[in-house]
Amino acid sequence: MKHAIPTLGMILACLFLAACVGVTPPQRPVAYMVPTVKSIDSLDALKPCNISAKEVSELLEKLQILNQLKASGMLDIELDVVARGLTNRGFAEIDARRAKGSLTWIAFSAIDSQKLEIVARFKNVPPKHLTKDLLPVSNPSLETLRACASPNAAVIRVLAKQTQFGSLELVQQQNPREKFSTLRWVVNHPSH
């Protein structure tokens, strides 16, 4: 009986230490159906939209950011998570903050059954092929600033253009710690 108590104490100590071991998040882009980069309140206004992983992949390819995600190590299964999030809740995101590359995150929102908003945050400046032919905007819309601008950083400039897929806007910002840019696409649903 004397040995039973120290043995039980050792077992409990081992279980406690095993529970304290941390889990390192993946160093690649990971998709989520719950917001980590936007507020949860923003989900209330969104509408579910029926979209497949193949359509998400084709859309990201047309917007010229799929290759950057894949180069950062994103697995194809993440596109299934994005499609499921948009279909079920009208929202999904890809978090690439721990991955290598200039893209830090992408948030997908179904504005309605026909339009999707895709907002992508980049460290410093996005690749030049994404910002080619953008023109300065003197009075950005409240919608653009709501979707793109971070409240704790100064807006440096806003650029925009119409594309064959919809509108594209770029908001460049800076705070004392970092300089970053956010691209916002409003596009037609791929099946419409």
In 3-state terms the chain splits into helix, strand, coil percentages (rounded to 5) of: 30, 30, 40
pLDDT recorded at residue 118: 93
Hey, CA dihedral for 61, 65, 70, 75, is it positive or negative? negative
Backbone angles phi, psi at 119, to 5 degrees: -120, 125
pTM equals: 0.81
Report the distance separating Cα 88 and Cα 53, nearest Å.
13
Angle at the Cα of 133 from the Cα atoms of 127 and 139, rounded to 5 degrees: 100
Report the distance separating Cα 103 and Cα 48, nearest Å.
26
Q: Do residues 19 and 154 lie in contact, with contact meaning Cβ atoms separated by under 8 Å?
A: no
Report the distance separating Cα 34 and Cα 130, nearest Å.
27
pLDDT recorded at residue 147: 77
Q: Which residue reads 């908003």 in tokens?
A: 117
pLDDT in tens, the chain (192 residues): 455 455 666 666 665 656 655 667 688 999 988 877 777 777 777 888 899 999 999 999 999 999 999 999 999 999 999 999 999 989 999 999 999 889 999 999 998 878 899 999 998 888 888 888 888 888 888 878 877 777 778 888 888 988 877 888 888 888 888 888 999 999 887 765
Report the distance separating Cα 127 and Cα 131, nearest Å.
7
- Domain ranges in the chain are 25-188
Please tell me what DSSP assigns to residue 14.
H
pLDDT recorded at residue 144: 80
Element (H, E) at 188: strand 179-188
pLDDT recorded at residue 174: 84
Report the distance separating Cα 124 and Cα 122, nearest Å.
6
Residue 8, both tokens: 């039980």
